[in-house]
Amino acid sequence: MPPIYLAFLIIHFVGLALGVGGNFAAIALRRAARGLEPAERATFSLRAMALAKNGSYGLLLSLVSGLGMFFIRGPANALAAGGPPFHAKLTLVVILCGLVGYSQALGKRVREAGGGPLLSRLPAVSNAIALVSVGIIVAAVIAFQ
């Protein structure tokens, strides 16, 4: 394996840790905030939204390093080696990008409004991101075992 490929692989796993770890941390913080009064919970949730940046940076690192690995291996070789699970992974990555984009847009509107009713949509989006992220990991493990 060329050293650049290994560097991309390391960056890929760092991105994975940032993205998935940030999302699961947000879910844990949301659970911790359940016992707070509604006004206090909204304030806490607005501050905890800073974790979304970890998810965005993680996704960016994973995308850039994933593309690097894809082109180092050669598109035909990578697609053939991974087979249908790799295609499923790529499909889930596209879905994840859409969910993260929606989450960012929604988060911006929530911050601008200082909370409000839109804040209640974020947990469902966060849960969907977690589910899709785990699906990506499962598909990647199956594709490249």
pLDDT at position 106 over 90: yes
pLDDT at position 115 over 90: no
Q: What is the mean pLDDT of residues 4-24?
A: 95
Residues contacting 122, CB < 8 A, separation 6+: 45, 49, 103, 106, 107, 110
- What's the confidence (pLDDT) of residue 100? 96
Q: What is the mean pLDDT of residues 73-98?
A: 94
Supply the DSSP symbol for 145: -
- What's the confidence (pLDDT) of residue 39? 87
Percent above pLDDT 90 for the chain: 77
pTM over 0.95: no
- What's the confidence (pLDDT) of residue 1? 83
pLDDT at position 4 over 90: yes
Size of the chain, expressed as the number of residues it contains: 145
Residue 91 pLDDT level (bands cut at 50, 70, 90): very high
Please state, rounded to an integer, the average pLDDT across all residues of the chain.
93
- What's the confidence (pLDDT) of residue 20? 95
- What's the confidence (pLDDT) of residue 116? 84
Q: How far apart are CA 9 and CA 71, in angstroms?
A: 13
Ramachandran area for residue 114 (φ above 0: left; ψ -120 to 50: alpha; else beta): left
